[in-house]
Structure 1
Amino acid sequence: MSFVSSHSPHGQSPLRTVQVLGGGDAGSSAHVRSLASGLVARGVRVTVCAPVEADHTYDFTGTGADHVHVPRSSDPGSVAVLREACRDADLVHAHGLHASFRAVLALSGRSTPLVVTWHNRAFAESAARIHLVRLLERRVVKAATVVLGTTSDLVERARRRGARDARLGAVALPGRRRAVDPDDPDRLRPKLLAELGATGRPLLVAVGSLDRERGYDVLLDAAHAWCRLDPVPMVLVAGEGPLRAELQRRIEDEALPVRLVGRRDDVTELLAAADLALLPSRWEPRSVLAQEALHAGVPLVATAVGGVPDLVGDAAELVPAGDAKALSDAVVRLLGDRERRESLRERGLRQAAGWPTEDETVAQVLCVYDELTQPRPLP
């Protein structure tokens, strides 16, 4: 299969794509940057439509892509800006539900192919909100030419909503760096453990925004059992969010061995120092933490939700969501079983070696683009 590029042997003009990103969580934003970089390197013209703050953080223009500031969805002018940005696009690729819905509105009346990637599930608690999300999802998938889901359950969700073509989309873990010197992997660990107040005790690390879906209330419930261990593990939670004050009150009132350390730019280093990684979420897509943990050879205890089982296979301890006893028991067992921890470390490295690379992710997306675009004569 041939890809349309600026080096096309058929005299075609370069393919122009518009990547649409809403507010964008860290995973989807990093994916768009990786995708933009790979597409530009292959001769594709790329415009990233996203809030200016996202470009400051992820430097889309640094990949060689153009950036158009599109206000967040609450701004009534965002659709008009997006419509103009997509005016001469050969293909539009939107990431996430809200960005996709705005792309549908912006492309109304046009025949431009629309690819949609669902990186995550839209959460809603009230009945009215659940109904609204369902309506948005149906509108988006019925308008999209192709829907790519980052997990098999997201693909099935798109099909249930009426998608005519829904597929599993490869998504790599972008920009993974070695956290430590491979010739001396424990060199920085003593210093980091001392800084964290975890010298001489097991370190358990969880990473993610402090919201309901992350299951940190269950993590705190489970931490009661760990207080009886000797030495008592230190649980480190990296992230910020609306539940910080509530969680901090529980930690203090219940004297739990848990520290909330806010957002960190050294998560890879924290994982390298950890004895276990914890993922207690009520739902997860293609979890970045799970990927980082397995890449780093850190045993993972995670809930069997969303895309996690497919992602980790038999390379992690999986427990039911919302079950504090199952979570606490799994941690206690692993801390007391060095052989099992080593087995998970080896399995994790093998599992991670089979995940798609950034080049493979870009190649798959280009295959989709190639299907949906026709040769264009030079201007």
Structure 2
Amino acid sequence: MHQPPPPTRPRVLHVAQPVDGGVARVVRDLARAQLSAGVRVAAGCPGGELGAELRELGVDVRPWGAGRSPGPGLSGEIRRLARLVEEVRPELVHAHSAKAGLAVRLAVRGRVPTVFQPHAWSFEAVGGPTAALALRWERWGARWADRVVCVSQAERATGLRAGVHASYAVIPNGIDLDRHSPAPAGPARAALLPDLDPAAPLVVCVGRLCRQKGQDLLLRAWEHVVRQVPGARLALVGDGPDRDALRRRARALGPAVRFAGAVTDTVPWYRAADLVVLPSRWEGMALAPLEAMACGRPVVLTDVDGARESLPPALAPHCLVPPEDPGALARAIAALLPDAPLRASLGERGRGHVQSTHDVRHTADRFAVLYRELLGARPPVSTERRESLHP
């Protein structure tokens, strides 16, 4: 008896810009988990480290020339993306971050099931007339997303308060627990900072050097930390547009602050740290604290969107401080650095929380359910409908 061929698994097209930092890590880890689950995965991005990593995983990577921010070349970027979608013929498109979300929704306009994941709202990243324009677009563009996926309930609430009325889903960020695991600090610290006194308390901040991540606030706090914890050292891991301004600010602190620059693997820095700090001004749900906790390290965070949800409730009194408050940040750091037993306890509890709540395999499972829901609610995209993709 003739048996029908098994149904093919859906082809998902991830579109990403930027191609570094937390967005790139989310796309990479999600793609790896989806490939392991048998999903056919393609990606459109401007290359970079993310493109190379995805190719190594076996993802069908298609170059998409696009800048990090909207500009005069946007119309060309949209046309190129429409052609890319036509070539890949995905069953579903998953756009990551504001720029990719803008281009995808204008290129596809609802003709293919579309998931938009902002990874923090665009209108929070700018001010004045630009913020008003970004908010107007997010309100308008929501009609071309079958789901807007937020990484925290707080991020969803921010969108709703701003008038972005969409069909929302909340799927917290996930961490690759095979890569992010505890290890003794000594070997990592000796390899990364061979001239550092092994007994010196070390705080690490991992993130793009930009206003969002708040390293300027951390440097202001650090002036107070070194008075209370002599010998404490701070390592800023990452690069970005605020690098030169931060270096100028740090000169007065001398050897108490190190700039590590951009790194391909942040895990050794987490393991080298006594404490990981992220003083963000806004987030959806930052990846660095989850990665640090997965490595068994305690964290101090500003209480912005997603921060409270990323922690077990018992850790909040030790680990959360008000945003834009260098004094409170300094007090929290200075209280934890001398208390090794408390740091060890916080790190252990944080690791258990991430294992139970933020395993990327669970995240991939939740996206699989969402994809099936969307694909089941939409008919297959016909050839005639695909021919209309070009804007």
Which interval holds the TM-score relative to the shorter structure?
0.7 to 0.9
Separation of aligned partners in 1, 2:126 and 2:164: 23
**1:277 has 2:279 as partner:** no
**1:331 has 2:333 as partner:** yes
TM-score of the pair, normalised by structure 1? 0.86
Q: Is the 8 A contact 2:21 2:207 kept in 1?
A: no
Q: For 1:333-379, what per-residue CA distance to the aligned partner results, in whole angstroms no more than 9, with x for missing partners?
A: 212333322331232122122223222222211111111224769x9
Going from structure 1 to structure 2, the CA distance change for 1:187 and 1:167 (only over 3 Å counts) comes to same
Match of 2:320 in 1: 318
Aligned residues: 366
SS at match of 1:248: helix
- How much has 1:9 moved relative to structure 2? 7.8
Separation of aligned partners in 1, 2:304 and 2:186: 35
Q: Which has the higher helix share?
A: 2
Separation of aligned partners in 2, 1:9 and 1:362: 28
Q: Is the 8 A contact 2:11 2:39 kept in 1?
A: yes
**1:28 has 2:27 as partner:** no
- Residue identity opposite 1:309 in structure 2: R
Separation of aligned partners in 2, 1:190 and 1:371: 46
| Equivalence map 1:1-379=2 (5 Å) | 11-58=6-53, 60-73=54-67, 74=71, 75=73, 76-87=75-86, 88-108=89-109, 111-122=111-122, 123-160=124-161, 161-174=163-176, 176-177=178-179, 185-186=184-185, 188=187, 191-192=190-191, 195-229=194-228, 231-253=230-252, 255=254, 257-313=256-312, 314-315=314-315, 316-374=318-376
Going from structure 1 to structure 2, the CA distance change for 1:221 and 1:51 (only over 3 Å counts) comes to same
- How much has 1:290 moved relative to structure 2? 0.6
Range 216-225 or range 190-199, more displaced: 190-199
Separation of aligned partners in 2, 1:124 and 1:308: 17
Going from structure 1 to structure 2, the CA distance change for 1:322 and 1:159 (only over 3 Å counts) comes to closer
Separation of aligned partners in 2, 1:249 and 1:285: 29
Separation of aligned partners in 1, 2:213 and 2:146: 32
Q: Is the 8 A contact 2:150 2:156 kept in 1?
A: yes
Match of 2:389 in 1: none
Q: Percent identity between the aligned chains?
A: 28
Q: Is the 8 A contact 2:297 2:348 kept in 1?
A: no
Q: Is the 8 A contact 2:229 2:334 kept in 1?
A: no
Q: Is the 8 A contact 1:114 1:146 kept in 2?
A: yes
Query: More relative contact order in 1 or in 2 (CA 8 Å, sep 6+)?
Result: 2
Separation of aligned partners in 1, 2:355 and 2:290: 11
Separation of aligned partners in 2, 1:70 and 1:232: 47
Separation of aligned partners in 2, 1:190 and 1:239: 17
Match of 1:4 in 2: none
Separation of aligned partners in 2, 1:356 and 1:178: 12
- Residue identity opposite 1:218 in structure 2: L
Going from structure 1 to structure 2, the CA distance change for 1:297 and 1:52 (only over 3 Å counts) comes to closer
Separation of aligned partners in 2, 1:179 and 1:358: 14
Q: Is the 8 A contact 1:97 1:136 kept in 2?
A: no
Q: Is the 8 A contact 2:174 2:360 kept in 1?
A: yes
Which 5+ residue runs of structure 2 have no aligned equivalent? 384-391
Which 5+ residue runs of structure 1 have no aligned equivalent? 1-7
Separation of aligned partners in 1, 2:166 and 2:4: 32
Q: Is the 8 A contact 2:17 2:46 kept in 1?
A: yes
Q: Is the 8 A contact 1:12 1:376 kept in 2?
A: no
Q: Is the 8 A contact 1:203 1:233 kept in 2?
A: yes
TM-score of the pair, normalised by structure 2? 0.84
- How much has 1:14 moved relative to structure 2? 3.8
Q: For 1:143-188, what per-residue CA distance to the aligned partner results, in whole angstroms no more than 9, with x for missing partners?
A: 21111101212222343434331010143123752567x5xx3551
- Residue identity opposite 1:228 in structure 2: R
